[in-house]
Amino acid sequence: MFMAFLQLFSGFFKIGLFTVGGGYAMLPLMQQEIARYGWVSAAEFVDIIAIAEMTPGAIAVNTATFVGFRTAGILGAIVATTALALPSLLIIVPLSNFWETHQEHPVLKAIFNGIRPAVAGLIGAAAMYIGQTALQYDPLLSQKDAFPIDFRSLIIAAVVFLAVRKRNVDPIKAILVSALVGLIVFGF
């Protein structure tokens, strides 16, 4: 059990240390670490992201807590969440004073001009991974092996995307309506 805690701590500390750009930008590295240690399957990871998105708090923290809990119970959740947040705490506290006095420096501006598009790329990679996993047929619900994309899921994703992006529909309402649609379309 000690090894599980050590792996959770080192994996989530690495995620917290090397990810810039917030929770969604953390997802590709989080997915890589989860696959490396085999904490949960790809489908479970996408389900965890969905749960983390629906619950209060930051998606990365919620995901770390859930993965830690699934791996090693309540103590695992505490270890994973602490490890994820610890690098930020250790880095931000000393950097905050430096940032306040030097944020207009041309070198810092150039660095952040390079980091911003990288963050967009990381978030895009996370979106592609989640989309590929979420839009596949669920083997428990369907035996469709000829075409790997479930068009019902694709239609739900497209409608939610358009509703939120073009019509400014509240994401919480979109999730709740999608859950109801899932009950109707995919059955009980």
In a domain, residue 96? The reply is yes
In a domain, residue 53? The reply is yes
In a domain, residue 73? The reply is yes
In a domain, residue 17? The reply is yes
pLDDT at 140: 56
Residue 141 pLDDT greater than 90, yes or no: no
Residue 143 pLDDT greater than 80, yes or no: no
In a domain, residue 26? The reply is yes
pLDDT at 68: 96
pLDDT at 122: 82
* Number of domains observed in the structure of the chain: 1
Q: How far apart are alpha carbons 113 and 105 in whole angstroms?
A: 12
pTM to 2 decimals? Answer: 0.68
In a domain, residue 57? The reply is yes
- Domain region containing 84: 2-103
Q: How far apart are alpha carbons 135 and 129 in whole angstroms?
A: 10
In a domain, residue 112? The reply is no
Residue 164 pLDDT greater than 70, yes or no: yes
Residue 188 pLDDT greater than 70, yes or no: no
Q: How far apart are alpha carbons 107 and 182 in whole angstroms?
A: 50
- pLDDT, one tens digit per residue, over 171-182 is 889 988 998 999
